[in-house]
Chain A
């Protein structure tokens, strides 16, 4: 759509701007403030320059948390994206199965995050949980409270349970937009199932899939509540991801300068990722505009 150039638009945006300035910009400036200052208490602050940043970027604790965070996000994407595509491909396209699938699959997405944690905390317990009890019955020494590997597996399975449906729903939205004529043409050409997927379904899903991947990456990158409830970051520090570490530092230890420096580094990473996300979204939007424009001209 052609938009008219009109600076009156600013009046419409003003309420949002005021609200977000209050709820985002001011707090963020507080963080910047703390990140360059040090204190001996009593609200007396003095200039510390880039000290906190240097300390942070050389600290083993931050490196470990960052590494765990990237590993976690990578594993999540590697499992959820193929699984999500697979389920979306197998979902029914018409009939009573469609609303049933949509509603039940969306259910985990609407559960409060701490309840997701609680569900899996209970579910994985050896004494009272179905999963823990079954695994124990099979002779496996499963204990997510004690064993770091078990804790990781529990959290990853929990996240797959929680968020794969997002990938499924987005891919499904892309798949149902493919006209039936495409499949007919493929059948006439004698295309194999793989060829149909590779050359018809995947290109049509391309845009929604990118959005799904980016959203999953961003959200898994700032995961806090679910692992906090299940493992509390333990055993040891084995499931302490960036957000958990940051909250521990800021509110647990009240280590303001360091926490603020970490917040800013964390935020810069997110900013970079958001920029990638935005570019992809707007480019995809432009493609969509061109595609519909072409059809209109035909």
Chain B
């Protein structure tokens, strides 16, 4: 009894001391708020610039657009050299996503359920590909895809991005699959399910969120990559990222259109981020949180 009384008595000052040393709840809220402000200000500036005309950008310095205009966005949506960049990017990103997740699913299942000759070495080798600097692969990819006649096609970029996306998908899916108890597989076999039927009807719904997260991360890492996609394309499959860098070097002046193009590349990520918000950490940590 006395012990309990003591601990209760001891708790009050300790609790208030804890709060004081953490700087109080107000300061506690200030840190994330300041950090988010730091993150959003540069993005705001890009949006701000995309709504101004070039004359306004160069002549008047203002925190918000004095004469907001959508002209820069109109340029992008009407000029084929701009909007085809978006279409090309989306085509190879979706191709890459489909390929990566499809081949990664069975592999991740094998890694999460079986031990086999050389499994650990193979798993490690996959990781080294995720970590490999694209700069090392830029030139050999260029030569390889030129040799097989795939240079400047969407599939070339999609296959090249498999270099880091397939390992990523395998690792993320393995993380999710290891959370599914093995008894489920065994029960399904006893119930007379064949393996493909079990995999599609029972197992895939169980790890649906994992598949979604893996697909999202494949989409994302393929979407943000520039070096390989720029090296492997020239005209027909030129991604939006390359279009942007070349416009800068060519004219160096059309800031408004450049800003608008940048804003439009942020949109896809911003649209789907809500659905994966609870899995972002897991995805970035290769399924290991």
- B103 contacts which chain A residues (CB < 8 A)? 15-16, 19
Q: How large is the interface on A (under 10, 10 to 19, 20 to 34, 35 or more residues)?
A: 35 or more
The reply to whether A12 and B110 contact each other, CB–CB distance below 8 Å, is yes
Tell me the A6-47 residues at the B interface (CB within 8 Å): 6-13, 15-17, 19-20, 22-24, 26-28, 30-31
For B11, B141, B181, B289, the residue with the greatest tally of chain A CB atoms inside 10 Å of its CB is B289
Please give me the residue from chain B that is nearest to A225 by CB atom.
B226
Q: Give Cα distance in the complex from A11 to B117, angstroms.
A: 12
The reply to whether B15 and A187 contact each other, CB–CB distance below 8 Å, is yes
The reply to whether B281 and A170 contact each other, CB–CB distance below 8 Å, is yes
The reply to whether B277 and A102 contact each other, CB–CB distance below 8 Å, is yes
Q: Mark A98-128, 1 if CB is under 8 A from B, else 0.
A: 0101111111111111110011111100011
The reply to whether A192 and B110 contact each other, CB–CB distance below 8 Å, is no
Q: Which of A119, A259, A275 contacts B46 (CB 8 A)?
A: A119
Tell me the A259-275 residues at the B interface (CB within 8 Å): 259, 263, 266-267, 270-271, 273-275
- B160 contacts which chain A residues (CB < 8 A)? 23
- B114 contacts which chain A residues (CB < 8 A)? 3-6, 8-9, 12
A272 to chain B, nearest CB (A): 10
The reply to whether B170 and A24 contact each other, CB–CB distance below 8 Å, is no
Please give me the residue from chain B that is nearest to A247 by CB atom.
B135
Q: Is B81 interfacial (CB 8 A cutoff)?
A: no
Please give me the residue from chain B that is nearest to A165 by CB atom.
B39
Q: Which of B43, B163, B240 contacts A107 (CB 8 A)?
A: B43
The reply to whether A284 and B288 contact each other, CB–CB distance below 8 Å, is yes
Q: Give Cα distance in the complex from A7 to B43, angstroms.
A: 51
Q: Is A178 interfacial (CB 8 A cutoff)?
A: no
- A218 contacts which chain B residues (CB < 8 A)? 131
Q: Is A129 interfacial (CB 8 A cutoff)?
A: yes
Provide the main secondary structure of the chain A interface: helix
Q: Given the interface contacts A101-B32, A103-B274, A170-B281, does A275 sit within 8 Å of B124 by beta carbon?
A: yes
For B103, B144, B240, the residue with the greatest tally of chain A CB atoms inside 10 Å of its CB is B103
Q: Given the interface contacts A1-B178, A110-B266, A122-B46, does A222 sit within 8 Å of B115 by beta carbon?
A: no
Tell me the B20-52 residues at the A interface (CB within 8 Å): 21-22, 28-32, 35-36, 38-43, 45-46, 49
Q: Is A52 interfacial (CB 8 A cutoff)?
A: no
Q: Is B98 interfacial (CB 8 A cutoff)?
A: no
Q: Given the interface contacts A110-B270, A170-B289, A215-B285, does A7 sit within 8 Å of B278 by beta carbon?
A: no
Binds B, one of A55-63, A70-78, A86-94: A86-94
Q: Is A229 interfacial (CB 8 A cutoff)?
A: yes
Q: Is A151 interfacial (CB 8 A cutoff)?
A: no
The reply to whether A19 and B241 contact each other, CB–CB distance below 8 Å, is no
Q: Which of B46, B104, B134, B226 contacts A112 (CB 8 A)?
A: B226
Q: Is A250 interfacial (CB 8 A cutoff)?
A: yes
16 of the cross-chain contacts (CB-CB < 8 Å) are: A3-B113, A7-B116, A13-B110, A19-B103, A24-B137, A26-B144, A87-B31, A111-B265, A122-B259, A161-B39, A187-B11, A191-B18, A224-B133, A242-B135, A247-B227, A251-B139
Q: What would 7 more interface pairs be, CB under 8 Å, given A112-B240, A161-B42, A188-B10?
A: A6-B114, A27-B137, A27-B140, A110-B270, A118-B262, A174-B289, A247-B227
Closest 8 CB pairs of A and B: A110-B269, A27-B140, A12-B110, A222-B133, A9-B116, A90-B31, A9-B114, A243-B135
